[in-house]
Amino acid sequence: MAKVLTPRSENYSQWYNDLVLKAELAENSAVRGSMVIKPYGYAIWEKMQRQLDRMFKDTGHENAYFPLFIPKSFFSKEAAHVDGFAKECAVVTHYRLKNDPDGDGVIVDPDAKLEEELIVRPTSETIIWSTYKNWIQSYRDLPIKINQWANVVRWEMRTRLFLRTAEFLWQEGHTAHETKEEAIEETVTMINVYADFAEKYMAVPVLKGVKTENERFAGALDTYTIEALMQDGKALQSGTSHFLGQNFAKAFDVKYTSREGKEEYVWATSWGVSTRLMGALIMAHSDDNGLVLPPKLAPIQVVIVPIYRKEEEFKQVSEKAKEIVSKLRDMNIDVKFDDNDKKKPGWKFAEYELKGVPVRLAIGPRDVQNGTVEVARRDTLEKNVVPMDGVEKYIQTLLDEIQDNIYNKALNFRAEKTTRVDSYEEFKKVLKEKGGFILAHWDGTAETEQRIKDETKATIRCIPLESEPEEGICMVTGKPSKQRVVFAQAY
Amino acid sequence: MAKVLTPRSENYSQWYNDLVLKAELAENSAVRGSMVIKPYGYAIWEKMQRQLDRMFKDTGHENAYFPLFIPKSFFSKEAAHVDGFAKECAVVTHYRLKNDPDGDGVIVDPDAKLEEELIVRPTSETIIWSTYKNWIQSYRDLPIKINQWANVVRWEMRTRLFLRTAEFLWQEGHTAHETKEEAIEETVTMINVYADFAEKYMAVPVLKGVKTENERFAGALDTYTIEALMQDGKALQSGTSHFLGQNFAKAFDVKYTSREGKEEYVWATSWGVSTRLMGALIMAHSDDNGLVLPPKLAPIQVVIVPIYRKEEEFKQVSEKAKEIVSKLRDMNIDVKFDDNDKKKPGWKFAEYELKGVPVRLAIGPRDVQNGTVEVARRDTLEKNVVPMDGVEKYIQTLLDEIQDNIYNKALNFRAEKTTRVDSYEEFKKVLKEKGGFILAHWDGTAETEQRIKDETKATIRCIPLESEPEEGICMVTGKPSKQRVVFAQAY
């Protein structure tokens, strides 16, 4: 069968686009920069959502829903925030259409102009903090720990499916606290939740760190990030958690009476992950044959393909297949028995390989006779014939093994692609020839950071949380540095 | 304790508003017509979503996601559709803000005007059918059965929390079929799913029927509806399922090659329920003490309140409470042990009554001694002391009993408030004095329907599906009629 994907070695970017389209994950829509998330892609997103939602609730958060629209005046109350988002906002100016008196279409009714324009939320700090003002009077009203699942719009000029789209789906947590310490603790808790989710569910190892001032969220005092490494050696920022200090409380005048009876501004955090995670998931593991999905997020974890010529054979094979389906379902394993008789087994094999189904079983008449079943795993493409009896336990173990294997593969890849350099020359050489994460000393100034970015397109992905302090000198300016930071070219 | 709600008998509408606010379900936001759904309200909506989603998947549907924005030209391709929605559309005209050169705020950047305006979706038929065009070539590509969970915007002038808001949350199913028969079957299947959900989960009895031409969805050939009756005798349209014929296929040129090799237009349905269901749920069952929630949708199904004076008593009581919590959780019952020592039991009793928690347990030192627990049910406000031993089974049965009782109460109420009338005089009298559903003969014309509406504010809620044909004469014009239709004043 002809390969349906451009090989990664030939054109990584084209491979990604081919894969997203051919595996039926998403496609571009008629609306510039907005995608359609197709059912198979959405099913993966639903599994992500369900797990993240559980983790948010387990850490004491509740869901709620705030308006899509933000009055323009709210939006501009926090100065850094509006600077960060003003250039990419969709603006609603009118609330009615009418028939075109000069034609047969409709036009915007000029009489239905809004007094104040509404911004389609690019993020919800402003509308939420304007609401929290009414909810918070005393320390007894704190903390507030709310999450929202929502769509947001940022008018991106260059878009790519899942990675950068004008509209995307995400969750945004917005919490309010009595003290600075508690808010920072929340910020760290949530970056840890994201890291756990990425590593244990997506099987994507991530570096945890803090952003430099240049790369911070607009309005934050500190932005924590998880950074993943893609197969082309580029980094992908996969989730962020922001310590917002009292910036939004001050902008919206949100004060509380403290335990000591004093009026204080409330401390804030916000944190989010989006459908961008789909891009990370796809790019981290997949190969030239198609998607490779970690079992914990695969909509179909096991597919069973019957092999037969005659109707009688189909009956025998089906009977066995259905027994396995029933056992796997009892174990909460998502299994599909593909009994479509319009498609041949070879077509099905290729299809499920393309779609990244972790385990494929094939059962033919000889298997029925011998009490066996052929088990193929997607990650290594290995096949094994195993006894039908007890196959459900074999599969359960295999799913765990695949989950671990995919993670370890990505971890090894990252280790290979992580380089410590001590000179700017070496930095540029590694960046060009090898890519990946580069650990180097930097003098801590925005100027040097900008110069490196301009000259190499590499940015500081983060100042890593889990690393030893190490005295050194900045590779560019020779000024002193106390810790290596992580550079990479990034999505 | 003072009543926190305006009694229903005094002002039903005020009672509803009080309840939505005091039970912390939702509130108005700073954005005209848009609400904030608060955590407790959202938790109910999540339970609704989860169950509906399961029912959609069980009937063969998949979830996907389509863009929030619809190009204006798409929107006007189906004539009836644009007529129906053009007057209430939020329109995006610009994609950037900039600093106001004359002031310190931001203004819409006039250089960032969109070539074609974008409509914030009021419903997604147009964007979805423009997408389906690329997905459908042959009968092999059919049926497509997709659902989307999304927010939509309709610029309503008079809004009420949950019942009518500019932005609301909903699901919209959009299916594509080979034949008219199959599309009609799907339309009926989905109105049945909605009716099942309303009756079995919300405990709200509904009438199933078909809308008159006047009341049809803009672009539909037939609209099926479920109509619920609220305690003030008004009807609430709670879900609709539309047979769209080939209207959208024609508007977007979506054809398929049939089994006979001919090019045919595709047949369509769409169907939706929204956060309006929250309004129905609240109004159908609640009383002057607060919410009454059906156990199947209650975020907290059982609350345990400890009664104690001394620390030692609290320990003993807590120990017993925790045993019950653990047993109930094993049975998948959502239970909360409220051990907050800042609030008194009386306050907690009133609070959970207001929030509609179906079952409340109180455990005091004497209960520990006697091996008993006090069980209070929200629907009837009855209390019983029952043995601690086996209380979990008692509760499980009680939850089912409450679910049934709430439903039966609503069903009896509806029966009482359903009247057959044979003259227009009687019709007006019943409408004024009693309200509710009125079954009457109607001549089938839009003119008579409009006249009745103008004169009485009552509309035809539906032509009921489950009723006997009955010859008669129109109560207004005396012209012949073959079936009674259902009139009511409605939300």
pLDDT tens for residues A367-384?
999 999 999 999 999 999
Confidence class for position A1, pLDDT limits 50, 70, 90: very low
pLDDT (0 to 100) of residue B2:
52
Q: List CB contacts (< 8 A) between B342 and chain A.
A: 140
Answer whether B289's CB lies under 8 Å from B52's CB.
no
Average pLDDT, rounded, for chain B: 96
Please say if the pLDDT value at position B102 is more than 90. no
pLDDT (0 to 100) of residue A2:
52
Please say if the pLDDT value at position B278 is more than 70. yes
Please name the residues between 47 and 76 in chain B that touch chain A, using a CB distance below 8 Å. Answer: 62-76
Q: List CB contacts (< 8 A) between B153 and chain A.
A: 68-69
pLDDT (0 to 100) of residue B56:
98
Residue A138, strand partner residues: A257
By Cβ distance, the residue of A29, A69, A153 closest to B34 is A69
pLDDT tens for residues B207-261?
999 999 999 999 999 999 999 999 999 999 999 999 999 999 999 999 999 999 9
Q: List CB contacts (< 8 A) between A39 and chain B.
A: 62-64, 146
Contact yes or no for A31 and B93 at CB 8 A: no
What value does the mean pLDDT take over residues B158-166?
96
For residue B377, give the nearest of B299, B293, B281, B320 by alpha carbon.
B293
Of the residues A38, A69, A145, the best mutation for testing chain B's interface (the one with the most B CB atoms within 10 Å of its CB) is: A69
Nearest CA in chain B to A120: B92
pLDDT tens for residues A420-458?
999 999 999 999 999 999 999 999 999 999 999 999 999
On whether any CB of chain A is under 8 Å from the CB of B131, the answer is: yes
On whether any CB of chain B is under 8 Å from the CB of A15, the answer is: no
Contact yes or no for A92 and B90 at CB 8 A: yes
Please say if the pLDDT value at position B399 is more than 80. yes
Contact yes or no for B64 and A88 at CB 8 A: no
Of the residues A24, A28, A35, A36, the best mutation for testing chain B's interface (the one with the most B CB atoms within 10 Å of its CB) is: A36
Count of CB pairs separated by less than 8 Å, A with B: 192
Judge if the upstream peptide bond of residue A122 is cis by omega within 30 degrees of 0: no
Q: List CB contacts (< 8 A) between B341 and chain A.
A: none
Phi-psi region of A401 (alpha: psi -120 to 50; beta: other; left: phi over 0): alpha
pLDDT tens for residues A125-163?
999 999 999 999 999 999 999 999 999 999 988 999 999
The Cα of B61 is separated from the nearest Cα of chain A by a number of Å equal to 9
Contact yes or no for A89 and B96 at CB 8 A: yes
By Cβ distance, the residue of B76, B88, B105 closest to A76 is B105
By Cβ distance, the residue of B64, B67, B76 closest to A38 is B64
Contact yes or no for A131 and B36 at CB 8 A: yes
What value does the mean pLDDT take over residues A316-337?
97
pLDDT (0 to 100) of residue B1:
45
Please name the residues between 16 and 35 in chain A that touch chain B, using a CB distance below 8 Å. Answer: 27, 29-31, 34-35
Contact yes or no for B153 and A68 at CB 8 A: yes
On whether any CB of chain B is under 8 Å from the CB of A170, the answer is: no
By Cβ distance, the residue of B31, B36, B127 closest to A69 is B31
Report the distance separating Cα A167 and Cα A159, nearest Å: 10
pTM above 0.90, yes or no: yes
On whether any CB of chain B is under 8 Å from the CB of A86, the answer is: yes
Pairing of strands B437-441, B418-420: parallel
The Cα of A453 is separated from the nearest Cα of chain B by a number of Å equal to 26
For helices A446-456 and A424-433, the axis angle rounded to 10 degrees is 40
- Based on the number of CB atoms within 10 Å of its own CB, is A402 exposed (0-12), middle (13-18) or buried (19 or more)? buried
Average pLDDT, rounded, for chain A: 96
Q: List CB contacts (< 8 A) between A93 and chain B.
A: 91-94, 108
The Cα of A40 is separated from the nearest Cα of chain B by a number of Å equal to 8
Q: List CB contacts (< 8 A) between B105 and chain A.
A: 72-73, 76
Which residues, 6+ apart, have CB-to-CB distance to B228 below 8 Å?
A: B198, B204, B205, B206, B207, B235, B236, B238, B280, B284
Q: List CB contacts (< 8 A) between A63 and chain B.
A: 39, 42-43, 46
The Cα of B106 is separated from the nearest Cα of chain A by a number of Å equal to 7
Report the distance separating Cα B217 and Cα B434, nearest Å: 29
On whether any CB of chain A is under 8 Å from the CB of B300, the answer is: no
Q: List CB contacts (< 8 A) between A66 and chain B.
A: 29, 36
On whether any CB of chain A is under 8 Å from the CB of B252, the answer is: no
Contact yes or no for B131 and A30 at CB 8 A: yes
Please name the residues between 136 and 165 in chain A that touch chain B, using a CB distance below 8 Å. Answer: 140, 146, 150-151, 153, 155
> Which domains are assigned to chain B?
12-67+132-285 (3.30.930.10), 300-398 (3.40.50.800), 418-488 (3.30.110.30)
Contact yes or no for A96 and B92 at CB 8 A: no
What value does the mean pLDDT take over residues B14-30?
97
Contact yes or no for B146 and A39 at CB 8 A: yes
Please say if the pLDDT value at position A103 is more than 80. no
- Over chain A, what HEC string results? CCCCCCCCCCCHHHHHHHHHHHCCCEEECCCCCCEEECHHHHHHHHHHHHHHHHHHHHCCCEECECCCEEEHHHHCCCHHHHHHHHHHCCEEEECCEEECCCCCCEEECHHHEEEEEEEECCCCHHHHHHHHHHHCCEHHHCCEEEEEEEEEECCCCCCECCCECCEEEEEEEEEEECCHHHHHHHHHHHHHHHHHHHHHHCCCCEEEEECCHHHCCCCCCEEEEEEEECCCCCEEEEEEEEEEECHHHHHCCCEEECCCCCEEECEEEEEEEECHHHHHHHHHHCECCECCCCHHHCCCCEEEEECCCCHHHHHHHHHHHHHHHHHHHHCCCCEEECCCCCCCHHHHHHHHHHCCCCEEEEECHHHHHHCEEEEEECCCCCEEEEECCCHHHHHHHHHHHHHHHHHHHHHHHHHHCEEECCCHHHHHHHHHHCCCEEEEECCCCHHHHHHHHHHHCCEEEEEECCCCCCCEECCCCCCEECCEEEEECEC
pLDDT (0 to 100) of residue B411:
98
On whether any CB of chain A is under 8 Å from the CB of B89, the answer is: yes
